[in-house]
Amino acid sequence: MKKYIIILLVFYLNSISALNAENSKKGKIDFDWFNSEEYKMIKKMQNCKVQYLDGSFGTCNPYNSYRNPNLR
């Protein structure tokens, strides 16, 4: 039984290492993504908060203003 477990474990570890090697090749970005305006926008919008007059909080997404203005 131990033999089976060892064989399966070797297969599993081998497949994981192969996948990781493949992922590290694929994991490189071939253009300057992290300095792009869009990347900066994502980071800003992901965490940005504004406080409304009623005390509630919302994100900085400017399209919030397309909601019923009477609600604000």
Partner 1 sequence: MNSSKLITFFFIFFVAVSCTPRSLSVAQKNACMAPSANFKALDAIHSTKIHAILWAKKFAKQASSKELSLSDKCRQTQILIKALYGLRDGESATWENPQNNTSGKIKILNTIVQTGIWGYGGCRDYLSYIKIDDKLETFKFRACPKELGAFELVDSAGFPIPGHLYFAGWYFYDYRFFE
Binding site for partner 1 (CB under 8 A): 1, 4-5, 8, 11-12, 15-16, 19, 23, 26-31, 33, 36, 38-39, 41-43, 45-46, 48, 58-68, 71
From CA 68, how far away is CA 49, in angstroms rounded? 20
CB 60 within 8 A of CB 44: yes
- The least distance separating partner 1 from the CB of residue 62, rounded to whole angstroms, comes to 8
- The least distance separating partner 1 from the CB of residue 64, rounded to whole angstroms, comes to 5
Taking CA atoms, 35 is separated from 3, 17, 41, in Å, by: 52, 31, 11
- The least distance separating partner 1 from the CB of residue 41, rounded to whole angstroms, comes to 5
